[in-house]
Amino acid sequence: MRINQERFGEINGREVTAVTIKNSHGMTLTCLNYGGIITKILVPDASGKVENVVLGFDTVEEYEKYSPYFGAVVGRVAGRIKGGAFTLNGKTYHVTKNENGNHLHGGHRGFSHVFWDMETAEDHHSASVAFFYQSPDGEEGYPGNLQMKMVYTLDDDNRFTIRYHGVSDETTLVNVTNHTYFNLSGNLKRDVLGHTLEMKSHRFLELDRSLLPTGQILAVEDTPFDFRSGRRVEDGVRSTHEQNLIASRGYDHPFLLDRHFDREIVLTDPESGRQLIVETDQPCVVLYTGNQLGDDFMIRGVQARKYLGLCLETQGLPDAVHHPHFPSVVLEKGGTYQAKTIYTFCVK
Ligand code: FUC
């Protein structure tokens, strides 16, 4: 394993550092001490050709100007909180309303637009970057001083693991995810419509027009949301299912996972032969097919556009604080938030 650090740029007078980890099986991962942003993941295709499989930029300026959370950690709470308000232990809290009167992805800066302290470590078969962030009481409106730790580990089996850990001195909400946009074609040669996705999920959440859960849990059976035997991403774009139309033609939906650490999410690009297996201890994955991606910028020389990447955001259920029948995302004072997701890259 090799770890390398270099200057990536500067934000508000502070250096943004890029850490690159390279294993002995042709896989390389680069991430930043800003938003924990994963800027690049290089993996081989079926013929051994090593190319980048995530959306990212080479300058901080582009991240600041254009990035819809490319590769970043999002929190304290991923997804939307209706009306930017919630009640905990009888007290109402107002969090940043940064999208149509609702709270999205932790607010203006959240976890994605702040510096994290970094420490690297390595052993025989893996190398890690540990990230630390202290979110002060009241930040973006959330109660409690929250100490977050997140560890990215790459091993020699082309397995990339993210572990999250949080403790707070007051009861608060935590539901963190990583917002990487994957595109297994390699260096964005094609969009992701021809990718196939297989997911062990028989239920998904119905969304309203603001993309907030209505509270209804729907069966995937006989819908374009049934990925149990695998289907092309394109199906949801061509679909006239009301839920695909609400998501601006595509998917922006939380799927409840039936299994954990059992190949529950498998994304394949049949052309390159690349495959990504995502496994997690989290109750759901938000499948977002890049339906809102703008076309007013370039991504490493490629025109940005809809469906150029897709996110597999493993997490607790969105807006859970307003739906008592969803698993809670409340972190009690003195308790510990923990989550783990493993991304394994291979070829078919
Ligand atoms: C995803 C979606 C949102 C939003 C954002 C950039 O998580 O759920 O709709 O577009 O990313």
Please state, as a whole number, how many other Cβ atoms lie within 10 Å of the Cβ of residue 49: 14
Residue 132: which CATH number? 2.70.98.10
Q: d(Cα 187, Cα 316) in Å, to the nearest integer?
A: 31
Q: Which of the four pLDDT bands, split at 50, 70 and 90, describes residue 285? A: very high
pTM value?
0.98
Ligand 1-lining residues (CB < 6 angstroms): 68-69, 211, 252, 286, 288, 292, 311, 313
Q: Is the separation of the CB atoms in 278 and 257 below 8 Å?
A: no
Q: In the block, which residue shows the tokens 């997490």? A: 315
pLDDT one-digit tens code per residue, 304-338: 999 999 999 999 999 999 999 999 999 999 999 99
From the candidates 105, 113, 179, 195, which is the catalytic residue? 179
Contacts of 134 by beta carbon, 8 Å cutoff, 6+ apart? 145, 146, 147, 148
Active site residue 179: yes
Please state, as a whole number, how many other Cβ atoms lie within 10 Å of the Cβ of residue 298: 12
3-state secondary structure of 205: strand
pLDDT at residue 26 is higher than 90: no
Q: Which of the four pLDDT bands, split at 50, 70 and 90, describes residue 101? A: very high
The closest of 288, 233, 270, 282 to 347, measured between CA atoms, is: 270
Rounded mean pLDDT, 267-277: 98
Output phi, psi for 30, to 5 deg. Answer: -120, 135
pLDDT at residue 273 is higher than 90: yes
Residue 183 CA to ligand 1 center (angstroms) comes to 16
Q: Which of the four pLDDT bands, split at 50, 70 and 90, describes residue 269? A: very high
What pLDDT is stored for residue 124 in this prediction?
Answer: 87
Rounded mean pLDDT, 232-246: 98
Residue 27 CA to ligand 1 center (angstroms) comes to 28
Q: d(Cα 267, Cα 89) in Å, to the nearest integer?
A: 41
Q: Is the separation of the CB atoms in 316 and 175 below 8 Å?
A: yes
pLDDT one-digit tens code per residue, 139-169: 999 999 999 999 999 999 999 999 999 999 9
Q: Whose CA is nearest to atom 9 of ligand 1?
A: 252
Q: d(Cα 160, Cα 46) in Å, to the nearest integer?
A: 19
pLDDT one-digit tens code per residue, 251-266: 999 999 999 999 999 9
From the candidates 140, 198, 313, 323, which is the catalytic residue? 313
Dihedral sign for Cα 192, 196, 201, 207, please.
positive
What pLDDT is stored for residue 87 in this prediction?
Answer: 97
Domain extent for 332:
2-347
pLDDT at residue 198 is higher than 90: yes
Residue 139 CA to ligand 1 center (angstroms) comes to 21
Tell me 255's DSSP state.
Answer: E
3-state secondary structure of 51: strand
Q: How high does pLDDT run on average in the chain?
A: 97
Residue from 80, 105, 180, 253 to probe ligand 1 pocket by mutation (most atoms less than 8 Å from CB): 105
Atom index in ligand 1 nearest the CA of residue 80 equals 8
Q: d(Cα 201, Cα 178) in Å, to the nearest integer?
A: 20
The DSSP annotation for 92-141 comes to EEE----BTTBEETTTTTTTTTSB-EEEEEE-SSEEEEEEEEEE-TTGGG
Residue 252 CA to ligand 1 center (angstroms) comes to 7
Q: d(Cα 337, Cα 329) in Å, to the nearest integer?
A: 9
- % of the chain at pLDDT higher than 70: 100
Residue 189 C-beta-side C-alpha neighbours within 13 Å: 12
Q: Which burial class, exposed, middle or buried, applies to 262 when counting CB atoms under 10 A from its CB (0-12, 13-18, 19+)? A: exposed
Rounded mean pLDDT, 83-99: 97
- % of the chain at pLDDT higher than 90: 99
What pLDDT is stored for residue 195 in this prediction?
Answer: 98
Q: Whose CA is nearest to atom 10 of ligand 1?
A: 292
Residue 81 CA to ligand 1 center (angstroms) comes to 13
The closest of 161, 158, 167, 236 to 196, measured between CA atoms, is: 236
| Structural domain total, the chain | 1
pLDDT one-digit tens code per residue, 102-127: 999 999 999 999 999 999 999 889 99
Q: Whose CA is nearest to atom 1 of ligand 1?
A: 288
Element holding 286 (H helix, E strand)? strand 284-288
The closest of 295, 291, 292, 308 to 192, measured between CA atoms, is: 308
Atom index in ligand 1 nearest the CA of residue 68 equals 6
Instruction: Give the CA angle between residues 305, 309, 315 to the nearest 5°.
Output: 130
Atom index in ligand 1 nearest the CA of residue 292 equals 10
